């Protein structure tokens, strides 16, 4: 499934730096519930205007991927560039720096929203201000060029076409890291843009813990034999696929009065504001998986955005900064709920009502089919287990590129060697290998790790929810999701960007980032499914 790709474009519309900012305390629509001093009011009003511009850009982006006629492409680029430039100008205005400095010496309660606002805004302000305008513009142009070249190279299955531009991207990315500054590793500066506070060393630690058990699990599964996904590959009427997916999304708690589901080539979730969070999907009339699990995945993202506190509307606090936490929510609903045995106890009779062709397929067979593990070339189509290996190899290559120990021209060979080592298969060409993802062409080095971090966090959070409410497992088998959602709302969603991932995990689960529960979950689930010793 390519459904992840548009999460990327959501975060890179024009300049990742200006678009990772958002929203504050509305002046007209939402009144802050206590008196504010003038400085805070001034700051929040400026940020609110910037938030409105981001919301407008967000709708333009949604439209670009759904209903925009093709002739409008260049004009849409221009509109987005102007909105991005204006909001960047407004945000990096020296006055905002001054207001932050004043507020940083004000006596704000340490866990207060005001203190969080100052801290979160400062981080974004510094990141945005450290990059010279010329550099931002030059990099934006390079990315536009690189995306086009990447698409051509992928069509032609020829990495060498893309290599010169990727070389420039890597060089610009190193400069970017230097501008942003870092303590230990230039990769830290990049990672921080997608996962605030996260360090390269921490990612290495987590991935090192994951790698052995996952590689071993994949090998054991491979030795054991295959499960069939034949039941998922038969004619499925598209309108019925849509109706069922939407029924499940609503059962989870997706509020259609503040959302909608449309069709696109590459599924995505787009938050215009918390009052307007849209998802898209695509339908394969001969294969149930893309629309069904794609919708559950995007629903997870959407539930997060719809659940942010009303007080954070038009504030940077309303805009989730941790892509790992964001992915934890999509994976939780897609995989931990949506691919669980318990969920299908509830949902399978409903699915069969839509598709009587499944009446001859026992629940166990269906459950095995949706959880089939099979090493494959394309990350976005990978199963729950092998997916993480795709991420690890990208992370390792990105580090080597930044450290200068891997030349861009050597990427295809290095890529294929790692795919062989981790998955036991060999990409037949670059389109199925190192050219498959759009991320690098968009300057997105540092982004990939958040996918696996999201998987790790998803199990920590799910287990904490079940510790607090042991009835959740039973609830799910009976189609009740309200307790789970309420726990996630209270412990994750409503906080928006207030806490970085590490702090939020500590508060919500009592632990820091820990791959243990995720390894336990995967091992236990797939040992049972594949009847491994």
Q: Which stretch binds a copy of itself (CB under 8 A): 60-68, 200-208, 210-218, 428-436?
A: 60-68
Q: Which stretch binds a copy of itself (CB under 8 A): 23-31, 164-172, 291-299, 357-365?
A: 23-31
Query: Applying CB under 8 A, does 78 fall inside the site for a copy of itself?
Result: yes
SS3 content of the chain, % helix, strand, coil (to 5): 65, 5, 30
User: Residue 256 or 474: which CB sits closer to a copy of itself?
Assistant: 256
Contact pick of 275, 348, 354, 355 for a copy of itself (by CB under 8 A): 275
Q: Find the shortest distance in angstroms from Cβ 337 to a copy of itself.
A: 24
Contact pick of 204, 258, 480, 507 for a copy of itself (by CB under 8 A): 258
CA-wise closest residue to 504 among 432, 343, 513: 513
Q: Find the shortest distance in angstroms from Cβ 72 to a copy of itself.
A: 4
User: Residue 273 or 491: which CB sits closer to a copy of itself?
Assistant: 273
Q: Which stretch binds a copy of itself (CB under 8 A): 156-164, 174-182, 256-264, 411-419?
A: 256-264
Q: Which stretch binds a copy of itself (CB under 8 A): 78-86, 151-159, 211-219, 424-432?
A: 78-86
Residues 341, 464: contact at Cβ < 8 Å?
Answer: no
Q: Long-range contacts for 92-98 (Cβ within 8 Å, ≥24 apart)?
A: 92/125, 92/128, 92/129, 93/46, 95/46, 96/43, 96/46, 96/121, 96/125, 97/125, 97/129
Matching residue, tokens 């998922």: 232
How many C-beta atoms lie closer than 10 Å to residue 226's C-beta? 11
Contact pick of 11, 76, 130, 527 for a copy of itself (by CB under 8 A): 76
Query: Applying CB under 8 A, does 143 fall inside the site for a copy of itself?
Result: no
Query: Applying CB under 8 A, does 14 fall inside the site for a copy of itself?
Result: no
Contact pick of 31, 36, 75, 417 for a copy of itself (by CB under 8 A): 75
**Angle in degrees, 0-180, between the axes of helices 133-156 and 159-180, rounded to the nearest 10:** 160
User: Residue 43 or 397: which CB sits closer to a copy of itself?
Assistant: 43
Contact pick of 272, 292, 303, 456 for a copy of itself (by CB under 8 A): 272
E strand or H helix at 101: helix 94-104
Matching residue, tokens 């069969």: 352
Residue window 304-323: x/- pattern of binding to a copy of itself, with contact defined by CB under 8 A: ---------xx---------
User: Residue 26 or 232: which CB sits closer to a copy of itself?
Assistant: 26
User: Residue 29 or 532: which CB sits closer to a copy of itself?
Assistant: 29
3-state secondary structure of 219: helix
User: Residue 308 or 445: which CB sits closer to a copy of itself?
Assistant: 308
CA-wise closest residue to 4 among 371, 242, 254, 280: 280
Give the residue ranges of DSSP H helices in 181-199: 186-194
Q: Find the shortest distance in angstroms from Cβ 48 to a copy of itself.
A: 8
Four-CA torsion 297, 488, 122, 171, nearest 10 degrees: -30
Contact pick of 42, 158, 242, 255 for a copy of itself (by CB under 8 A): 255
Query: Applying CB under 8 A, does 71 fall inside the site for a copy of itself?
Result: yes
Q: How far is CA 15 from the centre of its chain?
A: 17
Contact pick of 176, 192, 276, 327 for a copy of itself (by CB under 8 A): 276
Q: Which stretch binds a copy of itself (CB under 8 A): 68-76, 349-357, 417-425, 473-481?
A: 68-76
User: Residue 76 or 494: which CB sits closer to a copy of itself?
Assistant: 76
Give dist(CA 272, CA 278) in Å, integer: 8
Residues 192, 321: contact at Cβ < 8 Å?
Answer: no
The pair of three-digit structure tokens given for residue 26, joined into one six-digit string: 């509305």
The pair of three-digit structure tokens given for residue 447, joined into one six-digit string: 């982004």
Query: Applying CB under 8 A, does 299 fall inside the site for a copy of itself?
Result: no
The pair of three-digit structure tokens given for residue 440, joined into one six-digit string: 């690098």
Contact pick of 273, 315, 322, 335 for a copy of itself (by CB under 8 A): 273
Contact pick of 11, 32, 42, 79 for a copy of itself (by CB under 8 A): 79
Q: According to CB under 8 A, which residues from 30 to 49 bind a copy of itself? A: 49
Residues 387, 455: contact at Cβ < 8 Å?
Answer: yes
Q: What are the distances in angstroms from CA 477 to CA 229, 341, 521? A: 23, 8, 18
User: Residue 81 or 378: which CB sits closer to a copy of itself?
Assistant: 81
Task: Please report how many Cα atoms fall inside a 13 Å half-sphere around the Cα of residue 421, on the Cβ side.
Answer: 12
Contact pick of 11, 41, 52, 179 for a copy of itself (by CB under 8 A): 52
Q: Find the shortest distance in angstroms from Cβ 286 to a copy of itself.
A: 25
Number of residues that bind a copy of itself (CB under 8 A): 42
φ, ψ at 283 (rounded to 5°): -120, 130
Give dist(CA 329, CA 306) in Å, integer: 12
Query: Applying CB under 8 A, does 142 fall inside the site for a copy of itself?
Result: no
| Total residue count of the chain as it appears in this document | 533
The DSSP line for 243-309 is: HHHHHHHHHHT--GGG--EEE-SS--EEEEETTEEEEEE--BTTBSHHHHHHHHHHHHHHHHHHTS-
Query: Applying CB under 8 A, does 414 fall inside the site for a copy of itself?
Result: no
Which of the residues are catalytic? 298
Contact residues toward a copy of itself (CB under 8 A) are 26, 28-29, 49, 52-53, 55-57, 59-60, 63, 67-72, 74-79, 81-83, 86, 255-260, 262, 272-273, 275-276, 278, 313-314
């Amino acid at each position: 499934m390519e459904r992840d790709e548009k999460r990327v474009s959501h975060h890179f519309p024009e300049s990742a730096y200006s678009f990772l900012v958002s929203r504050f305390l509305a002046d007209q629509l939402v009144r802050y519930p206590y008196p504010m001093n003038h400085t805070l009011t001034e700051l929040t009003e400026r940020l609110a205007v910037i938030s409105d511009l981001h919301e407008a850009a967000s709708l333009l982006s949604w439209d670009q991927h759904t209903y925009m006629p093709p002739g409008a492409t260049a004009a849409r680029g221009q509109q987005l560039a102007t909105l991005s430039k204006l909001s960047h100008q407004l945000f990096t205005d020296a006055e905002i720096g001054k207001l932050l400095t004043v507020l940083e010496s004000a006596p704000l309660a340490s866990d207060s929203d005001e203190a969080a606002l100052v801290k979160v805004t400062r981080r974004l302000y510094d990141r945005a201000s450290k990059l010279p305008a010329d550099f931002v513009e030059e990099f934006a142009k390079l990315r536009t060029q690189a995306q086009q070249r990447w698409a051509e190279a992928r069509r032609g299955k020829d990495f060498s076409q893309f290599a010169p531009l990727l070389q420039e991207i890597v060089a610009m990315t190193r400069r970017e890291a230097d501008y942003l500054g870092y303590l230990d590793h230039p990769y830290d500066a990049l990672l921080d843009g997608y996962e605030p506070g996260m360090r390269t060393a921490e990612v290495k630690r987590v991935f090192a813990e994951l790698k052995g058990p996952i590689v071993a699990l994949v090998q054991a599964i491979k030795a054991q034999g295959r499960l069939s996904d034949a039941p998922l590959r038969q004619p499925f009427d598209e309108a019925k696929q849509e109706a069922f997916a939407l029924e499940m999304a609503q059962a989870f708690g997706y509020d259609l009065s503040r959302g909608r589901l449309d069709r696109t080539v590459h599924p995505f979730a787009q938050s215009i504001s918390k009052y307007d969070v849209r998802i898209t999907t695509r339908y394969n009339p001969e294969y149930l998986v893309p629309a069904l699990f794609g919708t559950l995945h995007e629903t997870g993202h959407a539930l997060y955005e719809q659940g942010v506190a009303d007080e954070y509307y038009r504030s940077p606090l309303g805009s989730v900064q941790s892509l790992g936490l964001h992915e934890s929510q999509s994976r939780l609903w897609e995989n931990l709920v949506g691919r669980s045995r318990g969920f299908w106890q509830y949902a399978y009779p409903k699915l069969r009502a839509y598709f009587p062709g499944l009446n001859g397929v026992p629940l166990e067979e269906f459950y095995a089919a949706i959880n089939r593990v099979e090493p494959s070339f394309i990350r976005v189509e990978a199963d729950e287990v092998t997916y993480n290996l795709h991420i690890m190899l990208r992370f390792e290559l990105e580090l080597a590129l930044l450290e200068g120990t891997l030349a861009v021209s050597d990427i295809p060979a290095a890529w294929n060697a790692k795919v062989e080592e981790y998955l036991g298969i060999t990409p037949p060409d670059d389109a199925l290998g190192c050219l498959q993802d759009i991320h690098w062409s968009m300057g997105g080095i540092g982004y990939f790790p958040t996918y696996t971090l999201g998987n790790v966090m998803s199990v920590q959070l799910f287990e904490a929810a079940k510790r607090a409410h042991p009835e959740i497992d039973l609830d799910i088998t009976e189609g009740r999701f309200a307790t789970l959602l309420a726990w996630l709302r209270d412990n994750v969603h409503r906080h928006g960007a207030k806490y970085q991932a590490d702090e939020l995990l500590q508060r919500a689960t009592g632990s820091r980032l820990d791959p243990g529960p995720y390894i336990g979950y995967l091992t236990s689930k797939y040992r049972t499914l594949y009847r491994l010793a």
